[in-house]
Structure 1
Amino acid sequence: MTAPDARPAPDARPAPGTGLGRLGEPGSPAGRRRAWASRIGRRAAQASRVGRRGALVSRVAGPAAVVAVIGSLPWLSGRDPALSVLRARSAEQEPTAEALAAVRRELGLDVGPVALFGDWLGGVLRGDLGRSWVGGGEVLPSVLSALGVSSALMGAALVVALALAAALSASTFARGARGTARARTGAPAAVLAALPEFLLATVLLVVLSVWLGWLPPYGWQGSRHLVLPALALGLPAGGILGRLVDDALPAVFEERWVVLWRSWGCSPRVVGRAAARRALPALLPQFGLVAVGLTGGAVAVEVVFAVPGLGRTALGAAEAQDLPLLQGAVLALVLLGLVGGVLVAGVRRRMLGQALRDAALSAPPPVAVPVGRPHRVVIAVGVLAPAVVICWGLLREPLRVDPAARLASPAWAHPLGTDALGRDVLARVGHGAAATLGVTVLVCLCSFAVAVVVGFLPGLAEGAAETANAVPPVIAGILVAAVVGPGTVGASLAVGLVSWPPLAAHAAALVRENRAATHVTALRALGAGPSWITTRHVLPAVAGPVARHAVLRLPGIALALASLGFLGLGAPPPTPEWGLMLAESLPYLERAPWAALAPTAMLLLLAVVAVSLSTLPRKR
């Protein structure tokens, strides 16, 4: 007697809900996993398409809005462009009604802003940027010549910045690859990032050119004229990049795959190479923004060294209200920013490849940083020293002019010396703290908030950031001042408009990678809602690094506000503002360096303290 066959019939099916289906069928665990993966893949593809469309829209709408605002500048400013052009052409000519009417007819100003802008846009589409209102020459050759100069300067400065960033993060990289204690280079990077570019340019010119005679001071005739401007631009940029790399590497070396690779016997070189490839995708947008910012933000350095670049060309055109030249220069800056952003996005996408949804390329969580006695001493000294100076200065009179004590050296009567008008530097430093620190912190907080919000729309964030980053703060200040008028409010709004792009690009990169992390994918598969995932997992991982990045921008924001004040677009003289004090003291730097040293030291202490506070212990 044989036992009955225990196998089910070929057409047998399990009861609904039992989960005993065949391997790969919808009711089986493998089938459910495949359904989850398919659903997540469709959502990721849809999000990718939406992001690409958003980036395309922002990359087209941003430049169009900037160029349209510039085209309306003569009517927004309330100034008569015919009068500005007439004075730029001939300061001696009397601005009679007949002369102004002739200028308006010649420039086409009598047809109105819409028709004038339409004619200019039609010429751009044909490759014709028009003629200069002041000089009468073709705008396109002038813009191309200035673009070539700025591109060469950008390349040289970027080499300096990358070399310095590598040097600053080399110790952290080497120690992390070997698995030993981390080395933090926040203070040196903060000091370099806080160096005012125009002050650094002046010091380099005085020391290396005037005193030592090693390099030419002005002009643009050869490669030797490239060295000083590249150093002045590259050293602060290298400090920012070095600090960002130094902040990203320890988190990478804390990840589990690094421990696993070391347990397999991988050499420090292999681990270090993989860690660099792991950390670079999130930082590549910052490298691109810094590179473009070196072109558009070099206005002060180009003025100091008389470099005929795009920034200096745009500034001169704005001051003379030479609208075609200004439009051409800013259009070149914006297009350069867009090209740089597209190239960086392509390189980053190639580095990530199909592994964008791989956990090995997701953003690392923040790590705890130990705080020892030296760290606490730096914070204490950096807070107490400025506090003592500010309180002491508040007891003195900042606006009292003493012609007999002009550029006096430090003494008991004037502990920090006097400026070119005989005003007490200590008093001006103390009274300038509120105008400098208060406005700077407010602008930084607003930029951080905007960056975090915009960063959750990565496609829109990257395109808009590339456009805004390409506009120099000086040009933004001119545009904002034309609408709201010069003053502290206008300067703060202008600097805020160009301060959020690097933060937004950083936030967008982190949002992309955190949304692609394995644990986030698992949470979606388990049914977690998008808002819960965003608030509990993505936002905490994004806010910390972006906040530390925002802290690094504090000195730069203060200096941007100061440069606008120096140009008459911000806090006007005799306001005791640190950056304005620094700008006013530059012509007397060789004779009375103490007048520039005091506000510079305060800005450097601000940067060191801010970065020290940003590296306090954080939750894992």
Structure 2
Amino acid sequence: MRRHLAVLLWRTVLAAVLVCGIGLLPRLSHTDPALTVLKARSAERDPSPEVLADIRAELGLDAGPLSLLGQWLGGLWRGDAGRSWISGGEVVPEVLRALGASLLLMTAALLVAAVTAVLVCARTLRLGSRRRLDGRRAGGGGSAVLAALPEFLVASVLATVVGVQLGWLPALGWYGPQWTVLPALALGLPAGAVLGRLLDDLLPGAFGEPWALATAAQGLPARRVARRAVRRCVPALLPNTGLFVVGLTGGAVAVEQIFDIPGLGRTALQAALAQDLPVLRAGTLALVLLAAVAAGACRLAARLLVGPALRDGALPSLHRPAPPARRLQPLVYGAALLAVVVLALPRDPLALDTAERLRPPSRAHPFGTDALGRDLLARVGHGALDTLLLALGVSAAALCAGVLLGLLPRLSGPLADTVNAVPPVLGALLVTAAVGGGAATPAIAVAAVAWTPLAAHTSALLVQERATAHFAAARGFGAGRWYLLRRELLPAVLPPVVRHALLRLPGIALTLASLGFLGLGAQPPSPEWGLLLAENQPYAERAPWAVLAPAAVLALLGALAVTAAGGVRWPGIRRGPGRRPEDHTSGAVPVRPPSLAKEPVKTR
């Protein structure tokens, strides 16, 4: 009981800090909120001192941010979140309407993601249930390409091709179930590919557990064995699924912009740009509450699925040594990406030639040209250096922070839920207000939230590894905490988390690109990939190569990251004659008595 009260208090403190930080947004950005509100209300009106003074008096800005925050908190107890500074309407009905649209879109996107995840690991399910896995994970590079596709690019292609050219489904507006299909596909396909890859990483270990061997020997149907294997792996994925729930609700800003959906992410973006603090606070608080509910539901579902095995220490380990890496695939993808960069370096990414505007691919311009006649190969290749280095740096920082915070689940759990509830665009705006604009602003904003799925993954795996039989045996021999962490937990947890981090590398690159797409990242004439997509997206129907070129290179990066991650393993565990056959099937780390270990071990 005391533990739950401490977690609740920690969540309350984090929510309060976030709401107070939003209230200080005008002061951090050194802008006059009265002037911003006047521009949002009427851009043509002259911002005279008298007009600005009237707006300050109307909104109560002269009283200071603490007084405004106190009035807002006092109204919350009565269900009154104030009135919008822009429209003058009540905030609660506006935020509830936006939240309803986002929840409906999120539900549809989760259904698409679930179907996509099953399709991604379908081959592993089929081979594993029939005892035909050869030690390799069956998932291919196609899911990596799908996971690397930016959501806003998928949305643009679906809206242009399916909605406009073919006319099969409506592409703009939010008037009924038909209008949810295309945005749900744009959000659900990349999310489902990521979840499918994580599930595909766990399934071989589940099929190698004793219960799977016993059911196969009893001749149970393969479909029934596959269902049980999925149920065995789902608890380790539920924390990340909870993060996806919040991310698909408040982080779908670009998709909502493209399809003109009045969702919560778009409402928060508009309120942040106009400094409409009552709407922004209420929207952020709604996302924080949704994050808390989603996290609690996922933890409860995980306990119900696993049962008393967590308490009794009766779980076998899901993780076994990684199979031999497929060396040819990453070499091919890496060579292709390197070839694009090498061929682009001699070309000038800023050279203008208006006579060559929107030219299709040719020998002179292998990727075609953009709306200003600039060579797309040059811009994609030069932008790759900045994008890749930035994405690698952010991924490394996120991995270190995720693993370290994942070892402290009581601290990192509520913190990850709260941080994940902040839409990336709002995070970028807060970072811009605090440190100013510049090339480092998107990296700081993305790094501030990129660690959350890795920390959730680490914590979920640690919970299950601590409940395994080999961990209980090592602790029974008198092993100390440091020995258990280094020799039992980290060898099982770090390899899948590193593979997860590599899987997230394209996602971090496309998050940086999405900030550029929304105008919060690099500025023209920089050849950064997100800016390339934003500049060329209006010409997607007339010159599709202008959008497909940077998107194809981004997908190539995803395939390279996932295929290279296939051979990630703990250096102390090797496959070969020295391992017992049962270790290959069960995936358990062999338990040695502490007396035979190299380092000294504490005794009870």
TM normalised by structure 2 equals 0.91
Say yes or no: does 1:336 pair with 2:290.
Answer: yes
Say yes or no: does 1:157 pair with 2:109.
Answer: yes
| Deviation for aligned residue 1:359 | 4.5
Number of the residue aligned with 1:82: 34
Deviations 1:93-120 (A, max 9, x none): 1111111111111111111111111111
Of the structure 1 ranges 292-301 and 515-524, higher mean CA displacement relative to structure 2 is found in: 515-524
Say yes or no: does 1:132 pair with 2:70.
Answer: no
1:613 pairs with one of 564, 580, 593: 564
Number of the residue aligned with 1:73: 25
Decide whether the 8 Å contact of 2:60 with 2:68 is kept in 1. Answer: yes
| Partner Cα separation in structure 1 for residue 103 and residue 568 of structure 2 | 41
Decide whether the 8 Å contact of 2:108 with 2:184 is kept in 1. Answer: yes
| Partner Cα separation in structure 2 for residue 280 and residue 360 of structure 1 | 17
Number of the residue aligned with 2:230: 276
Of the structure 1 ranges 235-244 and 170-179, higher mean CA displacement relative to structure 2 is found in: 170-179
| Deviation for aligned residue 1:261 | 4.1
Q: Any gaps of 5 or more consecutive residues in structure 2?
A: 575-604
Say yes or no: does 1:602 pair with 2:553.
Answer: yes
Decide whether the 8 Å contact of 2:232 with 2:306 is kept in 1. Answer: no
| Deviation for aligned residue 1:65 | 1.8
- Map 1:94-493 → 2, pairs under 5 A: 94-181=46-133, 184-371=138-325, 375-493=326-444
| Deviation for aligned residue 1:58 | 3.5
Number of residue pairs aligned between Structure 1 and Structure 2: 569
Number of the residue aligned with 2:466: 515
Read off the aligned partner of 1:173 and give its amino acid letter: L
Deviations 1:178-210 (A, max 9, x none): 111255114121111111111111110111111
Say yes or no: does 1:503 pair with 2:454.
Answer: yes
User: What SS class does the counterpart of residue 432 from structure 1 fall into?
Assistant: helix
Q: 1:605 to 1:54 in 2, by over 3 A?
A: farther
- Map 1:3-22 → 2, pairs under 5 A: none
| Partner Cα separation in structure 2 for residue 69 and residue 617 of structure 1 | 40
Decide whether the 8 Å contact of 1:194 with 1:236 is kept in 2. Answer: yes
Number of the residue aligned with 1:15: none
Of the structure 1 ranges 335-344 and 476-485, higher mean CA displacement relative to structure 2 is found in: 335-344
Say yes or no: does 1:563 pair with 2:563.
Answer: no
Of the structure 1 ranges 545-554 and 358-367, higher mean CA displacement relative to structure 2 is found in: 358-367
Deviations 1:396-455 (A, max 9, x none): 111112222111122232221111111111111121122100000111111111110111
| Deviation for aligned residue 1:357 | 3.2
Decide whether the 8 Å contact of 1:253 with 1:275 is kept in 2. Answer: yes
| Partner Cα separation in structure 1 for residue 407 and residue 531 of structure 2 | 36
| Deviation for aligned residue 1:127 | 1.2
User: What SS class does the counterpart of residue 553 from structure 1 fall into?
Assistant: helix
Q: CA RMSD in A?
A: 1.7
Read off the aligned partner of 2:412 and give its amino acid letter: A
| Deviation for aligned residue 1:570 | 1.9
Q: 1:405 to 1:170 in 2, by over 3 A?
A: same
2:495 pairs with one of 526, 530, 544: 544
| Partner Cα separation in structure 1 for residue 222 and residue 176 of structure 2 | 43
Decide whether the 8 Å contact of 1:53 with 1:459 is kept in 2. Answer: no
Decide whether the 8 Å contact of 1:54 with 1:460 is kept in 2. Answer: no
| Partner Cα separation in structure 2 for residue 302 and residue 274 of structure 1 | 37
Decide whether the 8 Å contact of 1:188 with 1:239 is kept in 2. Answer: no
Number of the residue aligned with 1:17: none
| Partner Cα separation in structure 2 for residue 518 and residue 250 of structure 1 | 19
| Deviation for aligned residue 1:365 | 2.2
| Deviation for aligned residue 1:271 | 3.4
User: What SS class does the counterpart of residue 451 from structure 2 fall into?
Assistant: helix
Of the structure 1 ranges 359-368 and 498-507, higher mean CA displacement relative to structure 2 is found in: 359-368
Q: 1:612 to 1:54 in 2, by over 3 A?
A: farther
Number of the residue aligned with 2:582: none
User: What SS class does the counterpart of residue 219 from structure 1 fall into?
Assistant: coil
Read off the aligned partner of 1:600 and give its amino acid letter: A
| Partner Cα separation in structure 2 for residue 474 and residue 562 of structure 1 | 12
| Deviation for aligned residue 1:126 | 2.1
| Partner Cα separation in structure 2 for residue 169 and residue 360 of structure 1 | 27
| Partner Cα separation in structure 2 for residue 157 and residue 271 of structure 1 | 27
| Partner Cα separation in structure 2 for residue 238 and residue 495 of structure 1 | 21
User: What SS class does the counterpart of residue 368 from structure 1 fall into?
Assistant: coil
| Partner Cα separation in structure 1 for residue 101 and residue 336 of structure 2 | 43
User: What SS class does the counterpart of residue 361 from structure 1 fall into?
Assistant: coil
Q: 1:165 to 1:550 in 2, by over 3 A?
A: same
Of the structure 1 ranges 264-273 and 513-522, higher mean CA displacement relative to structure 2 is found in: 264-273
Read off the aligned partner of 1:156 and give its amino acid letter: A
| Deviation for aligned residue 1:257 | 3.9
Decide whether the 8 Å contact of 1:149 with 1:308 is kept in 2. Answer: yes
Q: Any gaps of 5 or more consecutive residues in structure 1?
A: 1-48
Read off the aligned partner of 1:614 and give its amino acid letter: A
| Partner Cα separation in structure 1 for residue 127 and residue 312 of structure 2 | 26
| Deviation for aligned residue 1:173 | 1.2
Read off the aligned partner of 1:281 and give its amino acid letter: P
| Partner Cα separation in structure 2 for residue 281 and residue 367 of structure 1 | 21
User: What SS class does the counterpart of residue 47 from structure 2 fall into?
Assistant: coil
Decide whether the 8 Å contact of 1:472 with 1:498 is kept in 2. Answer: no
User: What SS class does the counterpart of residue 541 from structure 2 fall into?
Assistant: coil
Decide whether the 8 Å contact of 1:295 with 1:310 is kept in 2. Answer: yes
| Partner Cα separation in structure 1 for residue 546 and residue 253 of structure 2 | 23
Read off the aligned partner of 2:193 and give its amino acid letter: G
Read off the aligned partner of 1:158 and give its amino acid letter: L
| Deviation for aligned residue 1:270 | 4.5
Decide whether the 8 Å contact of 1:250 with 1:367 is kept in 2. Answer: no
Decide whether the 8 Å contact of 1:458 with 1:511 is kept in 2. Answer: no
Decide whether the 8 Å contact of 2:205 with 2:320 is kept in 1. Answer: yes
Decide whether the 8 Å contact of 2:495 with 2:568 is kept in 1. Answer: no
Read off the aligned partner of 1:323 and give its amino acid letter: L
| Deviation for aligned residue 1:358 | 4.0
Number of the residue aligned with 1:62: 14
| Partner Cα separation in structure 1 for residue 224 and residue 425 of structure 2 | 45
Deviations 1:232-281 (A, max 9, x none): 11110110111111111011112344334434555534533432222111
| Partner Cα separation in structure 1 for residue 466 and residue 528 of structure 2 | 43
